[in-house]
């Protein structure tokens, strides 16, 4: 399915999240090595997309992208995956598996800023 959007595809890095560690009361997140992937250039979310997000998440500045890569959100002590697109780092916030429609995923991302 995504092959029809070849002009919109860009290079990105997928950084898989891992189980963090706690030492002397300080939590340290863990991540795997970056893996090159292709994604559709990030797009702004619309009102319908916002309805699909959890309560309280509607105020964040989200973008959406699509990829064939298997990306994951945060689960208990395992960090959410990160995507680096155009030099900016994003946290994977939600993934909609569109496997039956063409082996791709719609991914909601949030840019990680210095104050986070």
Confidence of residue 75 (pLDDT cuts 50, 70, 90): confident
The helix (run of H) or strand (run of E) holding residue 97 is strand 88-97
Q: Is 114 left (phi over 0), alpha (psi -120 to 50) or beta?
A: alpha
State both tokens at 25.
């009361």
Res. 100: pLDDT tops 60: yes
Q: What is the pLDDT of residues 13-26, one digit of tens each?
A: 999 999 888 899 89
Q: What is the pLDDT of residues 29-73, one digit of tens each?
A: 899 999 999 999 998 887 776 666 665 555 567 899 999 999 999
Distance CA 57, CA 68 (A): 25
Distance CA 16, CA 34 (A): 7
**Domain annotation for the chain: domains and CATH numbers:** 2-111 (2.40.10)
pLDDT of res. 7: 76
């Amino acid at each position: 399915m995504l092959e029809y959007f070849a002009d919109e595809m860009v290079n990105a890095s997928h950084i898989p999240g891992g189980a963090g560690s706690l030492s002397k009361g300080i939590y340290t997140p863990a991540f795997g090595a970056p893996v090159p992937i292709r994604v559709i250039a990030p797009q702004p979310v619309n009102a319908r997309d916002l309805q699909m997000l959890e309560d309280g998440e509607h105020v964040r500045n989200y973008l959406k992208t699509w990829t064939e890569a298997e990306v994951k959100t945060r689960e208990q002590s395992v960090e959410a995956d990160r995507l680096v697109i155009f030099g900016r780092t994003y946290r994977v916030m939600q993934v909609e598996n569109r496997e039956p429609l063409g082996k791709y995923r719609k991914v909601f991302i949030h840019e990680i800023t210095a104050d986070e």
